[in-house]
């Protein structure tokens, strides 16, 4: 049995919006503004921008003319704008978020942050940082100030000392010569008189040396400044060991053969030195070393010193004409001690000679 063929469905008619009867103002429900769900929260900077440029940033919340249920254009047949006096129709709240507001309405004061506020905050932050840095570095700054003060004090002290030392406040007013015996101290002071008036640090040692060269008895010297006005010259004189006879007379010499003075006659208290090779020979240096090693009691009795070589130095003692065979200049201090002991035990008047050339086996004849 064949199934019946179904009839085609009638086409669905779409209602025409233009022919839909316009709703009266009393029958159109007014939509409630959604304050919590649709209201955007503007950021802080956006609020400040809206405050500066309210015209350009006003939100476009005007109702769409083609939206269903909204107020239509006055030219649309059968549609009228809702009147504020119509019962059931309310004007949109000016304070509701998301709706069109007056362009001249000021932004809330709590959300507005201007450049002045930012600048003040930055300035306060810098001021607080500087205060914290001063508080944490107070000890270091005090220590630095102490060291700076000490350094300044030292610089002032050194500068003052140098200025005073090189000024006439410390000029030489007196030259004092000490250590002279055979030398005339007054003559030396007169030779150094040109140093008077010179500041103590500026005393020229070269000039003093040139002045003392004229005195052969001066072996060495040293200078000592005694502030504020005294200059002390300490002199070490040459020790004469005897006289050497020459064509000009008798020349007083020291152990190094330096001529100290020359006289026509032999000076008293000085032995005659007879050395064949001369005053610049090894024999003369050995004789001079022997004479310097003798005690003063024995040296005053010596009248003559002879030597032909450095190993045969011989001494002659005074009126007794006793001879002392010394030998070389080696162990002269020990030989002098042995000779002094022998002379105490056996006086020179009772002996012919003392032989100390071998001090450990001295011989008395």
d(Cα 187, Cα 210) in Å, to the nearest integer? 15
Whole-number pLDDT of residue 132 = 86
- Are both 154 and 202 inside the same structural domain? no
Residue 335 host element (H or E):
helix 332-345
Q: Are strands 240-246 and 249-254 parallel, antiparallel or unpaired?
A: antiparallel
Task: For residues 272 and 200, state if they share a domain.
Answer: no
Domain assignment of residue 2, yes or no: no
User: Domain end: 202, 220, 237, which one?
Assistant: 237
Q: Give yes or no: residues 323 and 244 share one domain.
A: yes
Per-residue pLDDT reduced to its tens digit, 116-167: 888 988 889 888 988 888 888 888 888 888 999 999 999 999 988 888 778 8
Judge contact between 33 and 93, C-beta under 8 A: yes
The tokens of 25 are what?
């103002």
Q: For the residues of 243-260, what is the DSSP string, one character each?
A: EEEETTEEEEEETT--EE
Residue 226 and residue 135 in one domain: no
Contact assessment for residue 189 and residue 177, using Cβ atoms and an 8 Å cutoff: yes
pTM of the model: 0.51
- 65 inside domain: no
Span 241-274, pLDDT tens digits: 999 998 889 999 998 888 888 899 988 889 999 9
Residues 327-358: pLDDT tens digits?
A: 999 999 999 999 999 999 999 988 999 999 99
Domains in the chain: how many in total?
3
- Answer for the pair 323, 353: CB distance below 8 angstroms, yes or no: yes
Q: Compute the C-alpha angle 302/304/310, nearest 5°.
A: 105
Domain hosting residue 212, numbered range? 168-237
């Amino acid at each position: 049995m064949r199934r019946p063929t179904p009839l085609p469905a009638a086409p669905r008619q779409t209602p025409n919006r233009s022919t839909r009867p316009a709703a009266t103002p009393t029958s159109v429900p007014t939509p409630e503004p959604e304050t919590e769900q649709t209201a955007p929260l503007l950021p802080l900077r956006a609020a400040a921008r809206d405050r500066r440029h309210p015209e350009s940033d006003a939100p476009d919340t005007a109702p769409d003319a083609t939206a269903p249920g909204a107020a239509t254009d006055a030219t649309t047949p059968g549609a009228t704008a809702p009147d504020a006096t119509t019962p059931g129709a309310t004007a949109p709240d000016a304070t509701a978020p998301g709706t069109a507001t007056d362009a001249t309405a000021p932004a809330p004061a709590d959300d507005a942050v201007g450049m002045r506020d930012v600048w003040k905050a930055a300035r306060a932050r810098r001021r607080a940082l500087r205060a914290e840095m001063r508080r944490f570095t107070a000890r270091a700054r005090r220590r630095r100030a102490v060291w700076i003060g000490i350094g300044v004090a030292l610089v002032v002290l050194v500068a003052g000392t140098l200025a005073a030392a090189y000024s006439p406040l410390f000029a030489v007013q007196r030259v004092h010569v000490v250590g002279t015996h055979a030398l005339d101290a007054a003559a030396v002071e007169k030779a150094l008189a040109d140093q008077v008036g010179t500041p103590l640090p500026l005393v020229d040692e070269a000039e003093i040396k040139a002045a003392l060269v004229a005195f052969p008895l001066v072996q060495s010297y040293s200078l000592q400044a005694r502030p504020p006005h005294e200059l002390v010259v300490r002199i070490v004189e040459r020790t004469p060991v005897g006289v050497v006879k020459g064509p000009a007379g008798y020349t007083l010499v020291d152990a190094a053969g330096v001529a100290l003075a020359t006289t026509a006659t032999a000076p008293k208290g000085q032995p005659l030195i007879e050395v064949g090779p001369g005053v610049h020979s090894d024999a003369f240096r050995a004789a001079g070393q022997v004479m310097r090693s003798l005690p003063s009691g024995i040296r005053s009795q010596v009248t003559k010193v002879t030597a032909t070589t450095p190993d045969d130095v011989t001494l002659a003692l005074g009126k007794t004409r006793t001879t002392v065979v010394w030998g070389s200049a080696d162990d002269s201090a020990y030989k002098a001690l042995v000779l002094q002991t022998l002379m105490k035990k056996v006086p020179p008047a009772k002996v012919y000679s003392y032989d100390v050339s071998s001090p450990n086996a001295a011989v008395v004849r």
